[in-house]
Each structure stands twice: as C-alpha cells, then as structure tokens.
Structure 1
Amino acid sequence: MYTAKSVLFAVLSVGVLCLSAPSPAAAQSAPPQGNNGQPQQAGDPVAEANKRAVEEFIEATKLPGAAGKAECVWLGRRIASLLFRDDVDTARRHMDIYDRFSCPSDHLRLTFRCVVRQGNIDQKSPESLPQRVHACWLQPEAPVAPQAAQ
C-alpha cells in the first residue's frame, strides 16, 4: 500500500516541519528585565487590585464548607452580579458550572438576597456592585445598612 520511500518522506517531512517551527524559548533569549531590587511603586493600581483580589479570596476561605472554595467564591460572586444586572441567561449558564463544582446553592441564594435587600447601586461608582457582592458573600445574613434602607 505505502512504499518505503513514501513513508520515509512523510516521516522526514514531519521532522523537518517540527524542527523548523520557532520555539517559544527562542523568543525569550534575553534575560528578564527586573526592577533591579527597587521596590514597586506604591501607586500601581494593577498591583493594588491584584493584592486586593487575593486578600478577598483568602478572607473567603474562612467560610464554612464549600462556600469558601476559590471556585465557588469566584463563580458565586459572578452569578450574583449577573443576576443583579438582570443577565439571567448568562447567570444560568454559570449556575450549571457552579453546581458541577458542588458549590452550595443556599449560600448563593442568601448572597443574592443580601445584595437585593440593600437597594439600588450608585451607577457612577462601578466598584460598588463587586464590593457589595463580596461583602454579602462573606456575610449573607448581615443586616441592611441604614443608608441603603432609605
């Protein structure tokens, strides 16, 4: 069916193709440019946001049961935000994944109830919804704040 020459040609062609493809390490031949021991700038908003996100997940790991697992925290907060913004279809797709990770649906329900009970969110402050959802994720049965009740 196949001759020895055609098999040899195919093997050599694949070998040449693999060897001629650029490797990712070749693009990184220069040593990495570090900050030469200088401390990072204090006003770096990306670094501060990353640090805050890590601290939020560490704080959430103290929750009992599966509600403190990182995947449950991330998905649960996202679902609560989507539901609050009336994006039910996307929230439902995320809920399927949330259930696959065996995350507690009761905690998600209580978190969303907490977010809704606090009333509308200031549209001028985009950070207020994630902050509210995170606070409600940590303490879903927290009392309604006085300024939100008015």
Structure 2
Amino acid sequence: MAAVPEPSWTDPHCPVARTLDLVGDRWSLLVVRDAMDGARSFTEFQRRTGIARNILTDRLRKLIAHGLLTQRTAPSGRRQEYLLTDAGRDLFPVVLTLRQWGERHAFSPGEAHSILVDQQGNPVPELVPAGADGDPLDADTTSVRKIG
C-alpha cells in the first residue's frame, strides 16, 4: 500500500480536532467498529459496511498509516488480514460512547436497534465520565486548559 500523507491538522492544538482528522469520517470509525467486532478481511469489512472498494482501500491504508490497524498475512497464507493495534483498541470507549449516545438519541421510541453486551450477555452499563472525586463530569463541570 502507498504511504498516506500526514494530515494537515484542522486545529493543531486540539486533541479532539486531531482525532477527528484521523478517524472522524463515517467509514473509518465503522471499520474500527467492525474490527472490534471481529472483522479481519477486506471482504468482511466491505460486507458489513457496504462501503465501496476504493473507499475501503483508502480507509484501511489510512488506519494502518496512522497506527490504528496493522496488516498481516492471514493464517491461510492467501489473503491479508487487518488487526487493531493498541491505539485502535484504545478507541473502544469512543465507539462505546457513540453507541450509547445513538441508543438514546438516534432511534425513535420502541425502534429496534442493536445493543452491546458483555461476555455474560449483560448490557454494557452507560459510560459516565467521573472526576477524581468520583462525581460525574459533563460540559458544565469541565473546561479546556492548554498545556505546553
């Protein structure tokens, strides 16, 4: 795969903007989501997402170049497979938070949707950020401070 150029940062001092520059498009996060759900092959990613081949090729290349996925030869020796790196797995809370927001706000009451469950089949509890004192945090109880 050809090298992916470094992004021109939307806001070079903001971690949110930099993250969105790396994974903020619809397809990148869906590929990461499916990798978390066990997809490994190009065909699996394409089947699960419905993404066009050229766009999937581009997103896989980008995710590899930025250290979120790694590529290796599948055990069969015939195809390549894609695996999450530690950085890719670190996106789990992001995907979980998006999922939980979607469960609350992207469906009509009673509309069918999927849920995430743990290994025992229990729904994953809502992720709620907490401060050092254990109190819940939100936009009203936090502020941005530049460092460095």
User: Which of 1 and 2 has higher RCO (CA within 8 Å, sep 6+)?
Assistant: 1
TM-score (norm 2): 0.28
TM-score (norm 1): 0.27
Is the radius of gyration larger for structure 1 or structure 2? Answer: 1
Greater strand share, structure number: 2
Greater helix share, structure number: 1
